[in-house]
Amino acid sequence: MLCKLSISNIKKSFKDYAIYFITLILGVCIFYIFNSMDSQTAMLTVTSRQNEMIELMIQLLSYVSVFVSLILGFLIIYASRFLIKKRNKEFGIYMTLGMSKRKISFVLLIETFIIGLISLVVGLLLGIILSQITSIFIANMFEADMTKFTFNFSKAATIKTIIYFGIIYFIVMIFNTIIVSKNKLINLLQASKKQEKIKLKNTIICVILFIISVLMLGTAYYLVTEKINELLKYEVSILLVPISLGVLGTAIFFYSVAGMILKILSKCHNLYSKNLNTFVFKQISSKINTMVISISIICIMLFITLCLLSSAFTIKNFFNESINKYAPVDFELIGYYSDETKSININEFIEDDNIIKNNTKDITIVTDYYDKNLNYGSSLGEYENEVRDRYPNVRYDSPVYIIGVSDYNKLAKIYNCDTIKLENDEYAIVSNYETDIYKEVINRDSIINIFGNRLKPYKKIIDGFILIGVNPTNLGFFVVNDNIIENDNKHSQILVGNYSTNDEKVIEDIENKIENYKPIFTITKDTKLEIKEASVGLSAIVTFIGLYLGIIFLISSSAILALKELSDCLDDKNKYRVLRQIGADEKDINKSLFKQTFIFFMLPLSLAIIHTIFGLKFCTFILSSLGVNSILDGSAITFAFLIAIYGIYFVITYMCSRNIIKERN
């Protein structure tokens, strides 16, 4: 009997609570996909380095999954609270008919179990199907061999998903039982007549708080954009100041808006009195008043989602696009001079091995130097103090390395860069660092002393680098005429070259020899393949973790808004009935519902977008150390992603709300 009642209740409430079911299913699906990465990658043929990056990614995703499960747990409990509240009258009728609280709790327990079971089964099936697409996406990122690709099912991910969500549902069952056991019959029966208490706020106080919130947010924006260099003079923990101002300012903003929005709109008579706008604005004011904290948290979550996904997509695109730019040759060896090592002949690595000698080309060897009296600070000339204030985190005592113009031009040719020609009294700065540290040096025609020679700057900064890498950020490399270089101050000898063969086995053999080359002097080595694999691995880790957290935050934010809207529609059914009785037609009622749903969804998103504009400037500043010029491409993808998911929730919420308020025959 109780089981039949539970099943009947689920069928009856399915349409009204479609958002709840969809969110549960999506949560299970996403959790399975990101925890089945090990089985998805097991069938791919990858190199040992790629495999290490994949293992690291899987390990990090497993840690993130714990955090994600907590978010989903709070979301499900939050949703359950709304659902139980809407059924208070139903539970009161059960008690009136003689059903004990224990039996009501048992009915609720069965319903939660059935809903959980359905969500798990459907979510897992959907996750298994979509994980096949994810496998292809991973293979494309790592350029892996997919000849062994088959339909895969992760037993470990399935068990993990069942355990995590089983614990969540168990907690929900206990939570629901406690709520039902504490309710009194009179409260249950009168629940539908009770409305959430809305405390009227003093308009003047709200205006003052609004101004304070704007000042707090403005200060936070200013600190993370215009004053970020000064902030970073201190410990990283100083960033808690703008973060705290932003969080507190957001909460105060929504609190003040809730108290003054209706007052302000009522002054705009043409807008306020048009059609059913009076009803719409009062509904919006009521919603914001009853969930100031929730809507503030949603706004912050949306802001984090936008910044997180934008940064993730930007880093992915940057690493993918920078491989050919920053690794224009197939391999590089660098031998370092020291007090013990006065002579280096790195070319012996090529000459002493016939396989390497016969399968390489474009071998270029250059030497770079240093001047004991020249570091990044002194290289700025009279501009030094001003730059130190603006960019306090640069290591100004680090030596500036110098290369002869003939050696630089040899590298420029093999790197497909422009060669340069210097006058006798000139030096050139080669840099790809995205700041204007050396721009003023050029503009002021700053004279500096190199190897005892007073030299003036070349007409422009040369955009380039000397050493290859995933991201060879080069603050500044100085190029001078060969005749002023002092040979006693050698820093390193650099050898670069390309393969003359496409034979993968030969290339692999050469790369192994490069890896195991152990001369008597200190050496570092890089190959294009290593750089590419490291680049792809880093971009994959950042992308998947960003997507995982971003999707969960976005779903959670959308679901909370949707559940609140549906809950209010159930509370306000009588209001819509009154609107019909006083002559409002169905079209106007639906239009008013659409307006309030749209405004309700847009309110936290609008402030989140304003936060994001300044947040992305901060992200761009941080990512500039990697060589990232712009975050706009990643932002465009993120906003398209946001519109898709947020828009789907909005449409479903509106349709379900319209179904709830529809007049039943």
pLDDT, tens digit, 9 for 90 and up, residues 198-242:
555 677 888 888 899 999 999 999 888 887 777 766 666 777 888
pLDDT at 501: 86
What average pLDDT is seen over the chain?
78
From 194, 219, 251, the end of a domain falls on 194
**Pairing label, strands 477-480, 331-336:** unpaired
In a domain, 541, yes or no: no
User: Which of the two residues, 446 and 14, has the higher pLDDT score?
Assistant: 446
185-190 CB contacts, 8 Å cutoff, 24+ apart = 185/92, 185/95, 185/96, 187/88, 187/92, 188/88, 188/89, 188/91, 188/92, 188/95, 189/89, 189/92, 189/93, 189/96
Give the CA radius of gyration of the chain: 32
CA 100 to chain centre: 49
Helices 586-623, 240-267: crossing angle, 10 deg rounding: 150
Q: What is the pLDDT of residues 247-284, one digit of tens each?
A: 999 999 988 887 777 677 666 767 666 777 777 777 77
CB atoms within 10 A of CB 212: 15
**Domain count of the fold of the chain:** 2
SS3 content of the chain, % helix, strand, coil (to 5): 70, 10, 20
Q: Give which of 118, 103, 95 is closest to 2, Cα–Cα.
A: 103
* DSSP secondary structure letters along 177-188: HHHHHH--HHHH
pLDDT per position as a tens digit, 29-40: 888 888 887 665
With a pLDDT cut of 90, the percent of the chain lying above it is 6
Residue 610 confidence (pLDDT): 92
pLDDT of 576-586, one tens digit each? 788 888 877 88
Describe the crossing of helices 2-13 and 101-142 by its angle, rounded to 10 degrees. 50
Q: In this structure, is residue 282 part of a structural domain?
A: no
Q: In the structure, what pLDDT confidence band is assigned to residue 14 with cuts at 50, 70 and 90?
A: low
Within a domain: 409: yes
**Interval 118-133 mean pLDDT:** 84
Over residues 499-526, the pLDDT tens digits come to 888 887 888 888 888 888 888 778 888 8
Predicted local confidence at residue 607, as pLDDT = 92
What's the confidence (pLDDT) of residue 643?
A: 86
With respect to residue 29, please indicate whether it lies within any of the assigned structural domains.
yes
Residue that is last in its domain, among 144, 176, 194: 194
Put the strands of the sheet holding 399-404 in their side by side order. Answer: 448-450, 453-457, 426-430, 477-480, 399-404, 360-375, 490-499, 331-336, 522-527
When pLDDT is averaged across residues 593-607 and rounded to a whole number, the result is 89
Task: Give the residue-averaged pLDDT of 62-91.
Answer: 74
Which has the closest alpha carbon to 498: 260, 331, 645, 317? Answer: 331
Q: Which residues contact 240 (CB under 8 A, 6 or more apart)?
A: none
Span of 230-234, 303-307, 343-347 with lowest mean pLDDT: 230-234
In angstroms, the Cα distances linking 392 to 236, 242, 279, 657 are: 13, 19, 56, 55
Per-residue confidence band for 665, with pLDDT thresholds at 50, 70 and 90 = very low
DSSP 458: P
Please tell me the predicted confidence (pLDDT) of residue 406.
Answer: 93
Q: Is residue 393 part of a domain?
A: yes
Query: Nearest-5° angle of CA 249, CA 253, CA 259?
Result: 150
Answer whether residue 599 is part of any domain: no
Give the pLDDT confidence score for residue 40 in this predicted structure: 59
pLDDT in tens, 546-568: 888 888 888 888 888 888 888 77
Note whether 336 and 480 are same-domain residues: yes
- Max CA-CA distance within the chain? 104
506: domain range?
328-529
Of 97-106, 459-468, 478-487, the one with minimum mean pLDDT is 97-106
Q: Is residue 16 part of a domain?
A: yes
Domain termination site, one of 194, 225, 260 = 194
Least confident residue range of 94-103, 408-417, 474-483: 94-103
Does residue 295 lie in a domain region? no
- pLDDT for 583 equals 78
The rounded percent of the chain whose pLDDT value lies above 70 is 79
